[in-house]
Structure 1
């Protein structure tokens, strides 16, 4: 079955497979949202079923919670877990300082809460998500529905004073209607093209009334695991200033490929 995977899916899989090596018995683990994180959840489920791994998973979205339960992971809330040993999640972009843009899956609020409540955040990614400067991927900003157009206008006004290349914004839609997050909020996507100072942009955005949270993750990620389509995987650790490489073999009997719908 693994032979049917595209190179991009192979890259996501090997990154996820390598990242779950950080998970130990008894850990409380934050479970990210998105296509790459779905591979990770499947890998953890396989470890639970076949190796007897015992963990408690805190999902970052309703769809991750459903997948985790389906594969046999014990799902608890963050309030039940209180603090996490590790969070593994994907990213829409990451730079050389491990700053991230997240929120392409509209789960940025729960993702940021869970990540900051963890001793360690490991990001899993394929190499296409690596950039010199953040901003090519639209920056998601979660806003409350009340007065969202006013909030959007305030965001646009704020962008005039920041080091960004583009200033176009758009309300994220779900078909013909505005998208709602798990918390019942909207997402405004900022098409900035280049973000010169991610920390400044993140701080200023969160001062605007109506903004709940933004998709810039600054000083949160500790480790990035980058997968390649040929099975290579690179682990970069910002705390140890270390880079290591490995190659993972694909096993044709991997049953976690059989029903992965993400």
Structure 2
């Protein structure tokens, strides 16, 4: 296991300290959340009784293979806790998410939870969001027009940068579990995430964006000096 993976696993292990039998859990997507599901499965096999609601087909397949009981938001529209990773964590716990391509389902699941815990290695904590390109999920109709709308919206919020259509490693266009495309916006600096989120949400064809505002209630960061827990004020 690499040093980065070890830190992610430490953060995931700390998050499990907040899980109790009987909980309905939102299960995140990505490399850090994968460690969470691995560790959760061990607890389930030891007798922990929970139901997980996965945020992606990849997480669903992993959890099923490990014997974690699963449900849907239609069955459990209110979750006790959602645990997920993040690509960047700002000072007020505003997040950039979507590097794994599951931002729409992740935001729906997080919004259905009473509490969201974010797990990450310490390098994800930043003073200003935006170094990590902001994922923007869009429909596959009129992408050129949607791009123009996103550019106008970003400028109105004080941002500008290159939009790149996400592709898979094999060169084919990346398609989300919901059948949408992702444009990654290299803004460099997002000084007003709330304004940008509002502008992007008004662009026809934008399904969702990767700015998670007022959703994370606790962030667990693992670094060389140990594990740090930050609660939202």
Determine whether 1:40 maps to 2:36: yes
**What does residue range 69-84 of structure 1 map to in structure 2 within 5 Å?**
69-84=64-79
Describe the SS at the equivalent of 1:141: strand
Kindly tell me the number of residue pairs found equivalent between the two proteins: 232
**What does residue range 6-155 of structure 1 map to in structure 2 within 5 Å?**
6-50=2-46, 52-155=47-150
Aligned equivalents of 1:63, 1:83: Cα separation in 2? 22
Structure 2 unmatched ranges of 5 or more: none
Is residue 136–residue 210 contact of structure 2 (8 Å, CA) maintained in 1?
yes
Q: Which residue of 1 aligns with 2:202?
A: 207
Is residue 7–residue 228 contact of structure 1 (8 Å, CA) maintained in 2?
no
2:186 to 183, 188, 191: 191
Is residue 7–residue 229 contact of structure 1 (8 Å, CA) maintained in 2?
no
Is residue 150–residue 203 contact of structure 2 (8 Å, CA) maintained in 1?
yes
Determine whether 1:236 maps to 2:230: yes
Q: Which residue of 1 aligns with 2:164?
A: 170
Offset at 1:24? 0.4
Offset at 1:229? 4.2
Q: Which residue of 2 aligns with 1:247?
A: none
Aligned equivalents of 1:70, 1:198: Cα separation in 2? 38
Normalising by structure 1, what TM-score? 0.86
Normalising by structure 2, what TM-score? 0.97
Once the two structures are superposed, residues 232-255 of structure 1 have per-residue CA deviations (whole angstroms, 9 ceiling, x without a partner) of 21111114xxxxxxxxxxxxxxxx
Offset at 1:21? 0.8
Point out 4+ residue stretches in structure 1 off by more than 4 angstroms.
Answer: none
Structure 1 unmatched ranges of 5 or more: 240-262
